Amino acid sequence: MKHIPNKPAISLLCMALCGALSACGHKEPSRTHFPEQTESQNTEAEPEIRIDTQTGSRPDQASAQQENSANPPADSEQWPAGYRLIKDQTFDVTLEPLGSVTFSSYKPDSRQNPLADVLFEIKKAGKTVCLLDGVYEDNIRSNETFNKVEAVSFPDYNSDGFNDIIIICSYSPASGPETGTGYPEVRIYSGNTDGSFALESSLSENANSALAEKTIQSVLGFLGAGKGGTRTSVSSWKQAYIGLLQSQDSGRWQGYNLIYVNDDAIPELVEIGNDEATGCKIVSFADGAADETQLSRLSFSYIERRNLLCNSEGNMDCYYDIVYSMESGRLIPIASGYYGAEDNSNVQFDDEGNPIYQYKWEGVMMTREEYNQAFRAVYDTSSEKPGYEWGKWFSLEEVIQAIGDIPF
């Protein structure tokens, strides 16, 4: 026979036990909320998605955890906590290799953190597959407030078969004398075979430095997109030149120029030293990198698009002509001559008062006339152009902009 307990007795026992426990001290009840309780407290609230912004942009690793375990209504909008969807910068697009996806832009709630940055998310079939890396750690700006997303584009700028992403946002200084003014900022993300997108930080910085006007078209021009060939052959020269300029001590150079020594579309960069001892440096592009040739002192000329450059200089009755040829993007010395006084501490003069010099071309002593003839046989001085005009050079900012404005 099944034993049926005495219910009144059990009730009295429970009341006695509760009284004993209350005599030992009062404890706050647990604040744990079950899904049904949370939903009933705010049935009108839209469900939040908390996204870990430090997970980067690797597919399937963006953290998207619903605060409620109950499924939200099918027509409800979802966005990360502290952000609001920017509807006019949210698109259904097809991206290789992901296929049909939704690209979403989210504006930060400045009331929670005025320095919070914009957030970009890619969803496929309603699930987050990718969060784009922010420019700053934890997606918090240093001293700027986000204004708006100006433009978004999905080109394949490096022609690797995968879509890339170009984003232009505008910001305002959060403090200081320029507070209230706005400026645009370019972000460039390269697409990968696994569907992830890598923030090209250096490339983005170079584009921001080089471009006075920041539009999708100007960024594509900077990247060399649509011009055929590969990124290495068309746009890496810009990256190499600008990277070199930004890494150097600009105080060594009083100015810069762009010239064309050989017959390709990539100019040579001239760095003009502050003094004769520093001299000039010619930067060319060879084997995917910047190649530097140091000249003696400041004077040189070149024959445009005919692969020839001549460093003609000297002082104190000792002079030289060194002729360079550009081969595969590098300047190679091909001939040289020297002339001057045999003893520059005791210069001799002819009957007309001209200094008496010795002339040597390619190591062979000769007369002045023979020297000039040998020199001009290698380097046609009637076709030469000066390497730069005094005082008419670019500043550092101007030459970076000039490089960026070249349309390939």
Contact 119, 134 (CB under 8 A): yes
Higher pLDDT, 58 or 236: 236
Same domain, 261 and 343: yes
Mean pLDDT for 34-63 is 35
Residue 215 domain flag: no
pLDDT in tens, 290-323: 999 999 999 999 999 999 999 999 988 899 999 9
With H, G, I as helix, E, B as strand and everything else as coil, classify residue 139: helix
Which domain range does residue 61 map to? 47-69+76-199
Q: What is the pLDDT of residue 235?
A: 66
Structure tokens at 37: 């309780």
Q: Which of 201, 291, 191 is nearest to 237 (CA)?
A: 291
Give the integer Cα–Cα distance in Å for 338 and 358. Answer: 8
Q: Give how far Cα 392 sits from Cα of 163, 236, 386, Å.
A: 42, 27, 12
In a domain, residue 226? The reply is no
Structural domain contains residue 369: yes
**Claim to verify: residue 272 and residue 392 sit in the same structural domain:** yes
Which has more pLDDT, 210 or 320? 320
Indicate if 176 and 273 belong to the same structural domain: no
Q: Identify whether residues 132 and 252 lie together within a single domain.
A: no
Domain boundary among the residues 199, 226, 250 is at 199
Indicate whether 384 and 249 sit together in one domain. yes
Structural domain total, the chain: 2
Q: What is the pLDDT of residue 158?
A: 86
- Is 232 within a domain? no
Q: What pLDDT was estimated at residue 190? A: 95
Distance CA 356, CA 71 (A): 98
Confidence of residue 116 (pLDDT cuts 50, 70, 90): very high
pLDDT tens for 349-359 read: 999 988 999 99
> Which of the four pLDDT bands, split at 50, 70 and 90, describes residue 77?
low
pTM of the model: 0.54
State the pLDDT at residue 406: 84
Other Cβ atoms within 10 Å of 171 Cβ, number: 19
Q: Is 335 exposed, middle or buried (0-12, 13-18, 19+ CB in 10 A)?
A: middle
256: which 2 tokens? Answer: 């810069």
Do the beta carbons of residue 272 and residue 399 sit within 8 Å?
no
Whether residue 264 sits in one domain with residue 180: no
Q: Using CA atoms, how far apart are residues 218 and 223, in angstroms rounded to an integer?
A: 9
- 31 or 141, which is more confident: 141
Do 267 and 182 share a structural domain? no
What gap in Å lies between CA 176 and CA 332, rounded to an integer?
Answer: 51
Same domain, 360 and 269: yes
- Determine, yes or no, domain membership for 106: yes
